[in-house]
Amino acid sequence: MPPEEFRAAAHRAADLMADYLQGVGAYDVVPKIAPGAVRAELPASPPEQGEGIDGILADYKRLIEPNVTHWNHPGFLAYFAITGSGPGVLGEALAASLNVNAMLWRTGPAPTELEETVCDWLRQAIGLPPEFAGHINDTASISTMLALAAARHRLPGLQIRERGLAGRRDLAALTVYASDQAHSSVDKAAIALGIGLENVRKVPSDKRFRMDAQALRVALRDDRAAGRLPVAVVATAGTTSTTSVDPLREIAGICAEAGVWLHVDAAYAGSACVCPEFRALLDGLECADSIVTNPHKWLFTPVDCSVLFVRDPKLLREAFSLVPEYLRTSETGATNLMDYGVQLGRRFRSLKLWMVMRYFGLEGLRARIRSHVAMAQVFAARVDAEPGFERCAPAPFSTVCFRAVPEHLRHDPAAQDAFNEKLLAEVNAAGPVFLSHTKLRGRYVLRLTIGNLRTEARHVDAAWELVLKRAEFLRNAKG
Ligand SMILES: Cc1ncc(COP(=O)(O)O)c(C=O)c1O
């Protein structure tokens, strides 16, 4: 693509992006299409001859843009809502034009040093001591897997890096601990690391969905007595269903006593720690050996961007560093990012995080997170005040779990579940908002979460009105 053609096309793409972000609220959050609909519109084979960019952009506008689920929609209130903010999108675009592969300092001096710098900014912003060093990965799932690999590497005498796990009679069952509310990425890490699902202990949670620390203590003690080898405890700060925070300080004390690595999954709530009042809810975070937080969840940075903080980066490096001849360089004292994980090639993710942090400033980030929490608290209060509804968990941040309890189904939990499932389908089918669900103690629960910069009080109000209306409709239909 000749430079002048690129320039003109880039201006048009910028217009497409700006128009999209300005008008995204006019779409239904979830496109009303059936599986296969997009594929049916696409040619089955690649074009033999090249095409002009005009036709490609026209097809993007016609076929792609309307048929995504609009995570940038102000009515997106499902899962953990996220934002591709203006500065973040620009960071992505600029990183794409540089197309740097920062596997080594030599192959990406500024990306390497910017990554070190913004991770350290984030460390300070969320209140961690200076010994923590951050590395950017694609997702929390990968960050957690890497942290557990470092934890395993710290165990003396196992030599798993060299000898692997297969056929070894000298190895006790390596065991990982997490609450019954922990994210499935812990299980997936256990699969990938050869620890195995059966060796992930699901520690029960209390009434407020926090890990029962005493149950953890007992599990560690009993497992050791039975000859198992605890590798790590994964505590969660902001669980996926309810955003509960495990008692980090108490768990850290138990881990220290038992000599076990503590990894904290703060994928969601880590961002809230830029506000001192929310950092206080994660008391003890600073005692962890490793922590993951996702700026792509609640720090307005486009997917993907996950930061893994480790107290002793040397362990991560020892677990993974392997330098073939063609990657040897002569610099001394330089960080080579490839040494801190499985992947060699690396996207320049720190650029967008740098632009987000500079554009909003910590004050701006705090104000926006506080406004999300405030909107969620208003929603929670509405649920609490509404007969025929109940809140199903504390809401410490911007996520509210609730359900309808219609009078005619008061004594029939299974029918209540079916009612709420239908209610969610009705609400989401309407178009302007999108909520999600979970199960708590076996009961079907609706979940509303706020994390998008474009969400205003009126969108949350609209969601509540819709919930009330559709619930009334279903009650009248004796749904
Ligand atoms: C608490 C928690 N941890 C980890 C993850 C996984 O995040 P990722 O998609 O970055 O792997 C999620 C996803 O929502 C989550 O809620």
pLDDT tens digits for range 285-321: 999 999 999 999 999 999 999 999 999 999 999 999 9
Residues 144 and 197: beta-carbon distance below 8 Å: no
CA separation for the pair 3, 166 (Å, rounded): 54
How many domains in the chain?
A: 2
- Residues 327, 376: one domain? no
- Residues 248, 370: one domain? no
pLDDT for 6 equals: 98
Which residue's CA is the closest to the ligand 1 atom numbered 16?
240
185 lines ligand 1 (CB under 6 A): yes
CA separation for the pair 68, 66 (Å, rounded): 6
| CATH number of 73's domain | 3.90.1150.170
Residue with tokens 């890497």: 146
pLDDT for 479 equals: 52
User: Which of 117-131, 155-169, 251-265 is predicted least confidently?
Assistant: 155-169
CA separation for the pair 166, 18 (Å, rounded): 53
141 lines ligand 1 (CB under 6 A): yes
CA separation for the pair 475, 471 (Å, rounded): 6
Which atom of ligand 1 lies at the shortest distance from residue 296's CA? Answer: 10
Among 303, 320, 347, the domain boundary falls at: 347
Pocket test for ligand 1, best of 186, 243, 297 (most atoms within 8 A of CB): 297
Q: Which of 436, 458, 455 is nearest to 445 (CA)?
A: 436
- Residues 339, 439: one domain? no
- Residues 274, 304: one domain? yes
- Residues 340, 239: one domain? yes
Backbone angles phi, psi at 294, to 5 degrees: -110, 100
Element (H, E) at 189: helix 184-192
Residue 376 has pLDDT above 60, yes or no: yes
Which atom of ligand 1 lies at the shortest distance from residue 80's CA? Answer: 14
Q: Which residues pair with 290 in a beta bridge?
A: 263, 310
CA of 222 to the centre of ligand 1 (A): 30
pLDDT per residue as tens digits for the range 75-120: 999 999 999 999 999 999 999 999 999 999 999 999 999 999 999 9
Which residue's CA is the closest to the ligand 1 atom numbered 9?
139
Does residue 353 belong to any structural domain of this protein? no
- Residues 340, 405: one domain? no
E-strand ranges in 95-254 read 133-137, 174-179, 200-203, 229-236
CA separation for the pair 176, 148 (Å, rounded): 9
- Residues 308, 186: one domain? yes
pLDDT band of residue 394 (cuts 50, 70, 90) is: very high
Residues 82 and 454: beta-carbon distance below 8 Å: no
pLDDT per residue as tens digits for the range 324-346: 999 999 988 899 999 999 999 99
Does residue 59 belong to any structural domain of this protein? no
- Residues 371, 308: one domain? no
- Residues 108, 216: one domain? yes
Does residue 81 belong to any structural domain of this protein? yes
Kindly state the tokens that stand for 102: 């920062």
- Residues 286, 375: one domain? no
Residues 292 and 306: beta-carbon distance below 8 Å: yes
267 lines ligand 1 (CB under 6 A): yes
293 lines ligand 1 (CB under 6 A): no
452 lines ligand 1 (CB under 6 A): no
pLDDT per residue as tens digits for the range 420-468: 999 999 999 999 999 999 999 999 999 999 999 999 999 999 999 999 9
- Residues 240, 298: one domain? yes
Among 313, 347, 381, the domain boundary falls at: 347
In this prediction the pTM is: 0.97
What is the domain extent for residue 391? 1-30+69-85+360-479
- Residues 329, 418: one domain? no
